[in-house]
Amino acid sequence: MATIKQVAELADVSTATVSYVLNGTGSVTASTRQRVLDAVAQLNYQPSHAARSMRGRSHTLGLMLPVQPGRLSDPALAEMLAGLTDAAAARGYYVLLTHLGEHDDVELCLQLIRTGRVDGLVLLDMQLDDARASALCAAKLPHVCIGPPPASCASPFVMVDGRAGAYSAMQHLLSFKHRRIGLIQLPSELAESEPRYLGYADALAAAGLALDPGLIVEAGRSEEDGYQAVGELLNIPQPPTAILACSDELAFGAMHALNDAGLVVGRDVSIVGFDDLPLATHTNPTLTALRQPRRAVGEYGAALLADLIEQRTRAAQSATLQSRLIVRRSTGPALG
């Protein structure tokens, strides 16, 4: 086991400076702080439990943001963050935002908690086999997944029921007599992708309709991805009369593509989105979408993580919340 003295020698600082960095106290320059954290990681230094108890908790929740263009300007993320930070503050916690950059995501997760910078972590953009959650589970460190956790570990989570949401959107389209319904899917590595596909497939089966793989396009996450996906769907022999897009961003791109193709959204082709972002009420036509309880997800996530950190006997349990279909003018009866 490495000692604090060894960390200090490797970072070329005093043991007091190492303590300042690990405790989040004192005045330390950014470059010095980074040298200490690098030394901690290199030596795999872990403060003793006794030292931790003397130091106490940091009263800070960590939130990891994947590096993605425009991520912080995403209104869906902003609403979830508002719920998270308000609920954290009500429990006496700060929220530290950090992004991966060039760091190894698993090592950064472990380092943030083990060095005492945060008491627990909130994980976003869950992957099917999420290495971050698996590592935190194995190390028995407090964390909460925003989205479906990996099947390989019992990570606590709060998520929205994507399968039920997709099913209700499909029921809406089927009620308008649409029988060829396209699906613009999220990237398959995202944990939220499969439940939405399953809801789509469930609804087709319940209606006695065969699943046509030609009507399913796996896309990225941007408007441009939605635009390109519609190009593929319009080029098949029997294009869809309706489309379920697995995010509003994909739906917005799909609407642009249909307009450019000379088709009228809501008349020629119906579209349902999967977020109900503020922009959904300002598109032409306005977008029918599944409203996600994003603020509630953030609030519940903060409460769940705080309870885990404080080891409350009546701790909050993992939760699956429900979306609600908001019907607007982008959906209508199938022609003919």
- Domain coordinates in residue numbering, the chain: 1-56, 162-292
Residue 53: what pLDDT?
41
d(CA 274, CA 280) in angstroms, rounded, equals 10
Q: What letters, b where the CB count within 10 A reaches 16 and e where it falls short, cover 189-202?
A: ebbbbbbbbebbbb
Going by C-alpha positions, the residue among 1, 34, 110 that lies closest to residue 18 is: 34
CATH number, span 1-56: 1.10.260.40
Residue 102: what pLDDT?
54
Q: Which of 51-60, 142-151, 174-183 has the highest mean pLDDT?
A: 174-183
Instruction: Compute the mean pLDDT over every residue in the chain, rounded to the nearest whole number.
Output: 89
CATH number, span 162-292: 3.40.50.2300
d(CA 223, CA 281) in angstroms, rounded, equals 17
Task: For residue range 167-223, list pLDDT tens digits in order.
Answer: 999 999 999 999 999 999 999 999 999 999 999 999 999 999 999 999 999 999 899
Same fold, 1-56 and 162-292: no
Going by C-alpha positions, the residue among 109, 165, 69, 121 that lies closest to residue 302 is: 121
28 pLDDT band, cuts 50/70/90, is: confident
Residue 96: what pLDDT?
92
